[in-house]
Chains A and B, each alone.
Chain A
Amino acid sequence: MSGQDKGRSESDVLVVGAGIAGMQASLLLAEMGFRVRLLDRAPAIGGFMPLLDRTFPTNSCGLCFMSPTPPALCPFIECSRHPLIELVPNSEIEALEGEAGDFQASIVHRPRYVDVEVCNSCGECAAVCPVEVPRELGGGLETRRAIYRPYPQAFPSAFVIDREACTACGECVKVCPRGAIDLDMPERRSTLGVGAVILTPGFEPFDAGQKTEFGYGVHQNVLTSIQFERMLSLTSPSRGLPARPSDQEAPQRLAFIQCVGSRDISCDRGYCSSICCMYATKQAMLAKERLPDAEVTIFHMDVRTFGKGFERYYERAKEEYAINYRRSMISRVRELAESKNLTLACVDDQGCPAEEEFDLVVLSVGFGPPLGAAEMAEALGISLNSHGFAATVAFSPHETDRPGVFVAGGFREPQDIPEAVVEASCAAAGAAELLAARRVPWASKEYPAERDVSEEDPRVGVFLCQCEGNIADVVDLPLLAGYAVDLQDVACVEQVDKACELEGLEAIKSAIAVQELNRVVVAGCTERLHGDLFEGTLRQGGLNPCLLERADLREGCAWAHGDQPEQATQKARQLIAMAVAKARLLTPSQAAEAEVSPGVLVIGGGVAGLEAALSLAGQGFFVHLVEKEKELGGHLRHIHYTLEGGDTQQYLNDLIERVGRNELITLHLGAELKEVTGDAGRYTTVLASDGDTEQLAHGVIVVATGGEEVEPNEYLYGEHPQVVTQRELEERIATDEGSLAGLKNVIMIQCVGSREPDHPYCSRICCSVAIKNALRLKELQPEANVLILFRDMRTYGFQEDYYLKAREKGVIFIRYEPEAKPKVDAVKDRLRVLVHEPILGADLTLDADLVVLSTGVAPRDNRALAEMLGVPLDEDGFFEEANIKVRPMDFEAVGMYLCGLSQGPKNIEESIAQARGAAARAAVMLAKSRLEGQPAVPFVNPRLCIACGRCIETCPFGALVADEETGITEVVPLLCQGCGACSVACPSGAIQQRVFEKTQLMAVLDAALD
């Protein structure tokens, strides 16, 4: 944990809260070259992330993809090891003096009672601790001791004492072999000078016990979704199988109750928590996968699957998983005395009261602001909104009302992981703009010249790490040392106490010199850890870093088989044999390097493009902003006001004005891309405008080409003048109010061109647009009847406030099902709407003098651009991001980013956040000014290559191209991320990857089977 700037009482950015958003913001800023302190109240970083085993909508564990520098590592590890990030656990911010650029933060450090630097997590303390309390992770489903580690992978990885539970019996102090425990450790205070603060303290799940009718805490088989999430984790006591707490039996009938502590003003939770519909769907699917015979029912009022890919996920849950979605809230959960089964008071399909029996009930709890939010707001001098979340400035979703204090994630509004990643990136961009002058340029370290080992016979040094007993206590290292010495080409075997500490590294370095080693095997922890330390040591010793091989004796042997030392030793022996066999055959490989061209190309001059350009320019990078029309503004030109009442035209004019006078931004209006050539970091783009062409050089590309409104082809649109779209209505409200005078009956129809076979996705914004315009109509004409015919109202987050307001103002909402869509007839000049009203079960015929269609958002025709850039489109025609969960602003290809409607439907503030987030992602690459590839690149044997092109198709990074004449594959080393997919795809064995060459892998297999 030693970094170049550790120990100072000043830093560039203080990030408060180390969950997903906090880690993302910290990593981005650190990668840009800012010094970051990452503070958390908890003893370990991670927030809620360790709870999640799988994430929607892919049901994969995708979190490790979250990284500013692919190939991705785990954000925990990256945050814990980044030289510019210092973790500050067990701490809270108490006061913030000063102003943006020059804050003094007062921090209180709660005692941990265990010295992080001394504790080696041996766990003997917990083994003797007599106190057992519910474990926080997973909502108390399991227990832990008063001295504990929050979870096995926690960083910092030391133990911590919960003094509220601790009886101070002193047993742990007695057994701790390193004297790491101090029960009298005092609370400390410090002052930290920082330029900016980013608040990412997360959220707090609703206390389900408040809704007594659901029986949580009374009936054993009623769980919260937090507990069920834990139960579904493969690391839970039931190993991912749902089990009833009363008897550990697998439930055959499982019910979810939605909106527990959401959309409920009776418990001060009037807003929608946004993610519960999706997480319940995920949990239902996982439960069904593991218990295929179980019947799973989700009781809800609206299914809010509004995000990218979510509607298909919901359809899959219904069609493929037979999850039963029931539109009924539950009035009461009762327990049957004998079976401990539960009966739910609901309504049946006819709307009549019914009771249904289930074996297990999961309450989908909503999310509130983090505990202590009010105190924190006061300490920091920022305002909260009416729900107790951080209030932000209009059109600046990342700015609190105190300049220099930014916010992101669940503390701003309940949200899903992609939104948290986007907002955190946006906040990072805000801080980076503020502190642009303080960014430290990246400097690479100097190493001695590499020794040429090509003519030498292999001399392998094997270093066995004891890991202070972590390994040595289980695995018989002396036995292994004796074994390794006899392996082919092994020149020396040494045991070291801790290979990753200075002493151990020095031992390796000196052995390289003394023993004239030319290959090194480190047998210790997983290769996920400390790779750069050992590689650096080889480089210091004059060896190419590719001459290093690792054998995992800790995670893979000592920890996995701690109770079977003999088998663990046996496995370790095989792993060492395999590592040595491979090491003998390793050859040097150089990582490609290139200068990054300093500029950015932003494609699209709508709100996303403008914001991205301004943010990048604000960070000191120059920008080419290309817009194919003669005018800036894109889709936003047609939007006049927001749901919250913001003046979009004023905002847009201000944005355009700021872009116009920014010296770092070059505008290219009426211009189109003709050609993009080059690779990541070094692009050349040809632009055409008014017959002229122009050539631009730039390092990165941001795609912000926007979207468009779906053209309706039903409900008499285009046939009857009184059938209009929301956009047309908004135009009239804003510019021709008089034309609306005398309107008596207005009927709006939702999901026109959304959730339909042609456009199977949800357009996300139409519900709030309809409510926005309905409220305006009610303001202009309070006597007018306004009816909204909808399928599910998807006013997620705080938009729910406006749904409530619209109802209170007398807007009437009538649900329709896709099987019985409304019908619009023209009777002379009047319109008649037929709709089935489900509450009364009546078919209603309604008069209307205006029918307004809430049309969806469609992608533009992006095919030509996608082909030119070599990036994919998704099945709906929007641009496809690298990973929907954790990399929503990146293309898979290095150096290209995306934002706004071009990626999928979103509202203005979401577009702004994503645009600024993409700017932060782009800035990481630009700030480094030099792009470094990785050494495990493929190489092609041209004699074997049959020019079939399969490897080129397979490569997700565009790192392979065909030679124009011969068709033989060529490698672009900078773009290669070392995934190895090409060598798998090659039918002739022509393409192989360095460090994973065929001969090396065969040798490993031979050694394994020997």
Chain B
Amino acid sequence: MEINGGDLTGTLDLGFLAQVEERSGEDLSRCYYCLKCTAGCPSAPAMPYGPAQMVRLAQLGLKDPLLESPSIWFCLHCETCGARCPNEISIARLTQALRQMAMEEKGEELKGQAGIQALRTLGENILTTHNISAEDNSHRLMWSENLERVPEGLERKAGAQTLYFVGCVSSFFPMTYVIPQAFVQILEEAGESFTALGGEEWCCGYPLLMAGMGAQAEETVRHNVERVRDLGVRRVATTCPACYHMWRHFYPDILGEEVGVEVVHSTQLLAELLDEGRLKLKATPRRVTYHDPCDLGRKNDLYDAPRRVLEGVPELSLQEMSDTRRDALCCGGGGNVETFNPELVGELSERRFRQALETEAEVIVSACPQCERTLTAEARREKARVRVMDLVEFVWRALDTGE
């Protein structure tokens, strides 16, 4: 069936829909166009085709306008759409697949775009240097050099209980060094047997998925899993929710088998250590609010562990923002959108930051290096007297070490 709708011309070809559904794992044909996804999408105002329109284009087989549209690069992967869709469709998963398809099939047409070029460079960096910053990967533990005392066995101690998978952002952005620094000191304080991969840690591969280069992620995934298996650890702990999400959900998909070790996020680990009485916290009479990272909250239903940790801090007052937990606003930092539309990211981080200010909190606690970067940048722009801090750092500062 020929479809002729002015700019939109094509052949009604259910084959394209089937292809998109297979690549994304999303049952797009279920959509009944209630428009809830568009209504709630933080990026939709900037998108030439909104979320529901992307589904319609895919359904009608209008491939070229869809794959050539900037809309697919504006998705933050915040999963607000998927969390609320009455037909359980995630536009984030859709755009993730469309990005792959666009990179594969529209390489030439898209070449001129600066954003695409930047993503390509990012992807190539990951594939060659194994990190997002094109740094020397052997410097992955640079952050530990400032520590008063580098923990024993930090690098690849065989037989350790827990492997700390640090992640690119915390490894290479000095602004977030404090996260791994605090985390390893907490683990030491708790007497946890742990280690890290050091230069053998490669990018988790998530940025490749976001850049439409997921097909090339297998090497890095296999590398990380093999190194972890070599050490015989019981579990992998991350402080980065994206790494966590990647390890938990995409690693088994890409490998075609279970990873074989437990994957936990630092917020869960902290809650566990507190429950077991392995950490003591001192009174911290501060007013804080907690920002749910999208990768941790909506994508992994991890809402309670970080709050349990904060509620375990004596004299702390936890104030929820008006949009919280499943309904938390994205900080703007997701989906590599920064590469394409920094103005949009700025607007979104400002909106989230204002919600945090309304709680009159002194500290905005999050549990994601990317959220911390985005919100800290906003705090600086606004010159606001509020600290942005990862939960790990917050707990480290509240540690009662008996000294």
Q: Which A residues are closer than 8 A to B by beta carbons?
A: 212-213, 259, 263-266, 301, 327-332, 334-335, 337, 345-347, 351-354, 744-745, 785, 793, 803-804, 807-810, 812-813, 815, 837, 839-840, 842-848
From B7, B40, B52, B325, residue with most partner A Cβ within 10 Å: B40
A529 to B14, CA, bound (A): 68
- Would A301 and B85 count as touching, CB distance under 8 A? no
Residue of B with least CB distance to A746: B1
Residues in B neighbouring A815, C-beta threshold 8 A: 33
Say whether B4 contacts A845, CB under 8 Å: yes
Select B30's contact among A347, A804, A845, beta carbons within 8 Å.
A804
Chain B residues contacting A745 (CB-CB under 8 Å) are 1, 12
Q: Mark B38-71, 1 if CB is under 8 A from A, else 0.
A: 1111001100011011001101100000000000
Residues B6 and A842 in contact, CB atoms below 8 Å apart: yes
> Considering the chains assembled together, what is the distance between the CA atoms of A847 and B10 in angstroms?
12
- State the 9 A-B residue pairs at the shortest beta-carbon distance, nearest first: A331-B40, A842-B5, A264-B86, A329-B36, A329-B34, A331-B39, A845-B4, A301-B34, A745-B1
Contact of A351 among B35, B40, B88 (CB under 8 A): B35
Tell whether A846 pairs with B8 under 8 Å between CB atoms, given A337-B358, A347-B39.
no
Given A353-B38, A807-B29, A840-B53, A266:B6 Cβ within 8 A = no
Instruction: Find residues 70-128 in chain B having any chain A CB closer than 8 Å to their own CB.
Output: 80, 84-88
Q: How far is the CA of A328 from the CA of B7 in the complex (A)?
A: 25
Q: For B14, give its contact among A330, A334, A804, A810 (CB under 8 Å).
A: A810
Question: Across the interface, do B5 and A330 meet the contact criterion of CB distance under 8 Å?
Answer: no
Q: Kindly provide the distance from the CB of A257 to the nearest chain B CB, expressed in whole angstroms.
A: 10
Question: Which residues of A have CB within 8 Å of B22?
Answer: none
A353 engages B39 (CB within 8 Å)? yes
A213 to B85, CA, bound (A): 11
Residues of chain B from 1 to 33 with CB closer than 8 A to chain A in the complex: 1-8, 12, 14, 17, 27, 29-33
The answer to whether A846 and B44 have CB atoms under 8 Å apart is no
B8 to chain A, nearest CB (A): 5
Known interface pairs A328-B39, A347-B39. Does A265 touch B88 (Cβ–Cβ under 8 Å)? yes
Whether the pair B8, A785 counts as a contact (CB closer than 8 A) is no
Task: Please determine whether A352 and B2 come into contact, CB atoms closer than 8 angstroms.
Answer: no
Inside 8 A of A744's CB, which chain B residues have their CB? 1
Residue among B3, B7, B86 with the highest chain A CB neighbour number at 10 A = B86
Known: A330-B39, A842-B5. 15 other contacts (CB 8 A): A212-B325, A266-B84, A337-B322, A345-B39, A352-B44, A353-B44, A807-B29, A809-B29, A810-B29, A813-B32, A839-B53, A842-B8, A844-B3, A844-B5, A846-B2
- Kindly list chain B residues whose C-beta atoms are within 8 Å of the C-beta of A848: 1
* CA distance in complex: A330, B34 (Å): 9
Q: Known contacts A213-B84, A337-B358; is A846 also within 8 Å of B39 by CB?
A: no
Q: Do A807 and B31 touch (CB < 8 A)?
A: yes
Which residues of B have CB within 8 Å of A813?
Answer: 32
Chain A residues with CB under 8 A of B38: 347, 351-353
Residue pair A266, B85 in contact (C-beta under 8 Å) = yes
Known: A351-B38, A839-B52, A839-B53. A212 touches B327 (CB 8 A): yes
CA distance A804 to B38 in the complex (A): 21
Q: Does B326 have its Cβ within 8 Å of any Cβ on chain A?
A: yes
CB-nearest residue of chain B to A301: B34
Contact B2 A840 (CB under 8 A): no
A837 engages B50 (CB within 8 Å)? no
- What is the CB-to-nearest-CB distance from B166 to chain A, in angstroms, rounded to a whole number? 33
B1, B12, B53, B88, most chain A CB atoms within 10 A: B1
How many A-B contacts are there with CB distance less than 8 Å? Answer: 135
Residue numbers in B under 8 Å from A845 (CB-CB): 2-5
Chain B interfacial residues counted at CB < 8 A: 47
Contact A812 B5 (CB under 8 A): no
Q: Using Cβ atoms and an 8 Å threshold, which residues of chain B touch A332?
A: 39-40, 84, 323, 327
Residue ID in chain A nearest B46 by CB atoms: A353
State whether B39 touches A843 (Cβ < 8 A). Answer: no
User: 29 A-B residue contacts at CB 8 Å?
Assistant: A213-B40, A213-B84, A259-B86, A263-B86, A266-B86, A331-B37, A332-B40, A335-B322, A345-B39, A346-B39, A347-B35, A353-B39, A353-B41, A353-B45, A745-B12, A785-B14, A804-B30, A804-B87, A807-B29, A807-B32, A812-B12, A812-B60, A837-B5, A840-B49, A840-B57, A843-B5, A845-B2, A846-B3, A846-B12
Whether the pair A839, B30 counts as a contact (CB closer than 8 A) is no
Assembled-state Cα–Cα distance A803/B87 (Å): 12
Q: Are B35 and A328 in contact (CB under 8 A)?
A: yes
Q: How far is the CB of A337 from chain B (nearest CB, A)?
A: 7
Q: Which residues of B contact A810 (CB under 8 A)?
A: 14, 17, 29
What CA separation (Å) do A345 and B41 show in the bound complex? 9
Are A844 and B32 CB-contacts (below 8 A) given A346-B39, A353-B41?
Answer: no
Q: Which residues of chain A are near B35, meaning CB under 8 Å?
A: 327-329, 346-347, 351
Q: Please, how many angstroms separate the alpha-carbon atoms of A232 and B50 in the complex?
A: 39
Whether the pair B31, A351 counts as a contact (CB closer than 8 A) is no
Q: How far is the CB of A744 from chain B (nearest CB, A)?
A: 7
Would you call B56 and A839 a contact (CB within 8 A)?
A: yes
Distance in angstroms between the alpha carbons of A861 and B56 in the assembled complex: 44
Which residues on the B side are within 8 Å of A843 (C-beta)? 5-6
- List residues of chain B with CB within 8 A of the CB of A329: 34-36, 39, 86
A505 to chain B, nearest CB (A): 61
**What per-residue 1/0 map shows which CB atoms of B303-331 lie under 8 Å from chain A?**
00000000000000000001101110000
Asked if residues A345 and B40 are in contact (CB atoms below 8 Å), the reply is: yes
CB contacts (< 8 Å) of B84 on chain A: these are: 213, 266, 331-332
Chain B residues with CB under 8 Å of A331's CB are 36-37, 39-41, 80, 84
Kindly provide the distance from the CB of A796 to the nearest chain B CB, expressed in whole angstroms.
14
**A340, chain B: closest CB distance, angstroms:** 12
Kindly report which residue of chain A lies nearest to residue B86, judged by CB atoms. Answer: A264
Q: Are the CB atoms of A808 and B60 closer together than 8 Å? A: no
Using A212-B327, A329-B35, A331-B36 as known contacts, say yes or no to A351 and B53 having CB atoms under 8 A apart: yes
The residue of chain A having its C-beta at the shortest distance from the C-beta of B52 within the complex is A839
Least Cβ distance of A478 to chain B in Å? 65
CA distance A766 to B77 in the complex (A): 40
Q: Using Cβ atoms and an 8 Å threshold, which residues of chain A touch B80?
A: 331
With CB as the reference atom, state the residue of chain B lying closest to A218: B322
Residue of A at shortest CB range from B6?
A: A842
Question: Please, which residues of chain A bring their CB within 8 A of the CB of B326?
Answer: 212-213
CA of A809 to CA of B145 in the docked complex: distance in angstroms? 59
How far apart are the CA atoms of A948 and B326 in the complex, in Å?
Answer: 73
Contacts of B33 in A (CB 8 A): 301, 815, 839
Residues in B neighbouring A837, C-beta threshold 8 A = 5, 56
Of A335, A346, A351, A793, the contact of B50 (CB 8 Å cutoff): A351
